[in-house]
Amino acid sequence: MNHDMNITLKVWRQENTNASGRFEEHKVVANPDMSFLEMFDVLNEQLIETGKEPIAFDHDCREGICGMCSMVINGRPHGPKRGVTTCQLHMRSFKDGDTITVEPWRANAFPVIKDLSVNRGAFDRIISAGGFVSVNTGNAVDANAILIPKEVADEAFEAATCIGCGACVSACKNASAMLFVGAKVTQLAKLPQGQPERETRVVAMVNQMDAEGFGACTNTGACSAECPKQIPLSVIANLNKEYYRAKMNGK
């Protein structure tokens, strides 16, 4: 039988992008089988019932698919468990009586909208700069029409599992987006459909990344370590290779 847990939360509250933020302390009783977001639902119900403003936080699918559930929990994006998003983190990962500190992603390129919710439009603009394949729409091509070696397909699929949550940026001391951009560039550069725009794509996406104000990569590996989909650092090496290749070819 699971017994309820008494948890103390220190939660970041910030009215808007330009306001000064502060930590606010709350007590909540949680069941160990609750997800971390369900625990926040309980807290917000308490706040509403007492006439206080609920805590703003991002969420959507609650199945580890969308990447919206962006919380830094005790200093780690998505919390203490590897390979999970915040919505997949359960309260049984903590102990009765624990104090948990919860903050938003910290990066100049991800301005706080309110409380724990940040604006990740910078990622959308990087994708818009080149993270796509320009093709005429029509009937889907048969899956076996273009043969792709298994090792290449596997590498492309591994990169494609990136959900664009931004944990890599939050984990990086420089707020670098290299893991995210590397994953998106690698996914398309490895596949035949991505070849026509291969060089213009990487230059456009890196230029947009720099314009958004993300920091440089200094190879600490924190990004990959905290990535809920465990995207490997090799995508950053591949991004550098693709970028230098494009520049050597005058792109």
**Could you tell me if 109 and 130 lie in one domain?**
no
Compute the distance between CA of residue 158 and CA of residue 69 in angstroms, rounded to an integer. 21
**Could you tell me if 101 and 164 lie in one domain?**
no
Phi, psi values for residue 97, rounded to 5°:
90, 0
Tally of domains in the chain: 2
Instruction: Write down the H helix ranges in 114-233.
Output: 121-130, 150-160, 167-171, 178-189, 198-211, 222-226
**Could you tell me if 81 and 162 lie in one domain?**
no
**Could you tell me if 52 and 146 lie in one domain?**
no
Which two structure tokens, joined as six digits, stand for 52?
């206080």
Looking at 113, 139, 167, which one is the last position of a domain?
Answer: 113
**Could you tell me if 152 and 225 lie in one domain?**
yes
What's residue 1's pLDDT? Answer: 57
Domain assignment of residue 9, given as a range: 5-113
**Could you tell me if 103 and 125 lie in one domain?**
no
**Could you tell me if 63 and 137 lie in one domain?**
no
Looking at 89, 113, 137, which one is the last position of a domain?
Answer: 113
**Could you tell me if 100 and 149 lie in one domain?**
no
CATH number at residue 67: 3.10.20.30
What's residue 137's pLDDT? Answer: 61
Compute the distance between CA of residue 165 and CA of residue 167 in angstroms, rounded to an integer. 6
**Could you tell me if 135 and 69 lie in one domain?**
no
| Cα 236–chain centre separation | 16
**Could you tell me if 100 and 171 lie in one domain?**
no
| Cα 112–chain centre separation | 15
**Could you tell me if 98 and 169 lie in one domain?**
no
Looking at 60, 92, 113, which one is the last position of a domain?
Answer: 113
**Could you tell me if 13 and 80 lie in one domain?**
yes
CATH number at residue 132: 1.10.1060.10
What's residue 145's pLDDT? Answer: 81
What's residue 228's pLDDT? Answer: 98
What's residue 226's pLDDT? Answer: 98
Would you write out the chain's pLDDT as a tens digit for each of its 251 residues?
A: 578 999 999 999 999 999 999 999 999 999 999 999 999 999 999 999 999 999 999 999 999 999 999 999 999 999 999 999 999 999 999 999 999 999 999 999 999 999 999 999 999 999 999 999 887 767 777 777 888 899 999 999 999 999 999 999 999 999 999 999 999 999 999 998 899 999 999 999 999 999 999 999 999 999 999 999 999 999 999 999 999 999 999 98
